Structure 1
């Protein structure tokens, strides 16, 4: 299977987790997903007025410089941890 196919399967599995991951786990998954698809953050810092948007932006910005392939590999690994921890609905 190609890296892209593995990544898509991992993303599909994350959407079917039986329980919601912690905020930290979700933040890590989000940042790796965005880095995989877009690359380095391409939006302005939203500022502190929107705490959720700011947290997402900060998490993604921490991945700056990570290649899309490396981000995909990290996302796949993290998704496997989440599937093992939470299970996947069929």
Structure 2
């Protein structure tokens, strides 16, 4: 690789790393803020947040769907599994946007 191209590639990688660091900071801030909401979010909002959170922190759903007697577990599993294949960045973006939407209510 030519030296100038190497510098450009290194800069791109460094910028991506910094950008992801800022994104992760925003995600962590949103995760803290959601605990301090003045009004309790609806169950569907909480499940949506849960699905995004698990997709960010774990990735694609990697567990078996809970049995028929575990309704709460099934709802949570479905919320997480609905985001299968979503990138971490997209899940972070959607989580942050949802928290901001809930803060505005």
Normalising by the residue count of structure 1, what TM-score does the alignment of the two structures yield?
0.91
Q: Flag as ranges the 4+ runs of structure 1 deviating above 2 A.
A: none
Where does structure 1 lack aligned partners over 5 or more consecutive residues? 86-90
Tell me what 1:79 maps to: 99
The structure carrying a bigger helix percent of its residues is 2
Tell me what 1:56 maps to: 76
Where does structure 2 lack aligned partners over 5 or more consecutive residues? 1-20
> How far apart are the structure 2 equivalents of 1:52 and 1:17?
22
> How far apart are the structure 2 equivalents of 1:56 and 1:14?
17
- Deviation digits for residues 1-54 of structure 1 (CA, Å, limit 9, x no counterpart): 700000001011101011210010001000000001111001111122110000
* Alignment size in residue pairs: 85
Output the aligned Cα RMSD. Answer: 1.0
Give the greater-gyration-radius structure (CA).
Answer: 2
Q: Whose RCO is larger (CA < 8 A, sep 6+)?
A: 1
Q: Secondary structure at the match of 1:2?
A: helix
Tell me what 2:9 maps to: none
Tell me what 1:45 maps to: 65
